[in-house]
Every structure is written in structure tokens, then in C-alpha cells.
Amino acid sequence: MILKEYAEKEGITLTEAKERTGLTHWKQEVVADAPAEAPAVEETLEEEVVAEVEEVVATAKDLLKESQDVMKVLMKDGMTAEKALIGIKMIGAKSKYYPFIKVLETLVD
């Protein structure tokens, strides 16, 4: 059905039909059962997005705190993150810094 036919069927003007459907020309096709208004965003979607953002922020805060702790330990031992990472890779799991390898890789990048 074209926009003009939709307007006639609904008993509204062509201008009102354009506003309802979002179309701009009377020859454009219209979905017969198109809703008059855009559907509302569900609150559950918003809650999911908020929860996901909060989780990312918490993870970033944890990573920052862990990075600060690792740097304090390294500075106390007089090492840089690059040197510690090289040493950890050479020594492997026996290194006392091994639990911090992911944080060090993040710091070096």
C-alpha cells in the first residue's frame, strides 16, 4: 500500500500520514500495520547496559589498583615494568612477579 492509500484508509491527511510513518513522498510504500508511534525502549535493555558499564568500570578500577600495587613492589626492588616482564618470561612460574604478568603486559603496552 502506498502512502496516499494509507492516509485514505486511516481517514487522515497525507501530511498526518507522512508524520505517522516517517515517509516523505506519497508514492512510497507503507507497511499496512505500521504503529503510529515508535516503540518505547524497554527498561530491561537499559538495565543490562547500565550493569555492563558498571562491570567495565569496576574492572578498570581493579586493574588500576593492581597496577599501582605492582609498580610499588617493582619500584621497591628498583625494577622497571619492562625489565620485570623480561625476567618473568625468562624465569617463568618460579618468579615472584609471575602472578602480575598480565598487569605488567598492560603497563608495558
pLDDT digits (tens, 9 = 90+) for 21-40: 877 765 666 555 555 565 55
**What is the rounded distance in angstroms from the CA atom of residue 71 to the CA atom of residue 78?**
10
- What is the share, in percent, of the chain residues with pLDDT greater than 90? 0
* 67-100 pLDDT, tens digit each: 788 778 778 878 777 887 888 888 888 877 777 7
Q: List CB contacts of 10: < 8 A, sequence separation 6 or more.
A: 17, 20
Q: Is the pLDDT of residue 66 over 60?
A: yes
- The pLDDT-based confidence of 46 (bands split at 50, 70, 90) is confident
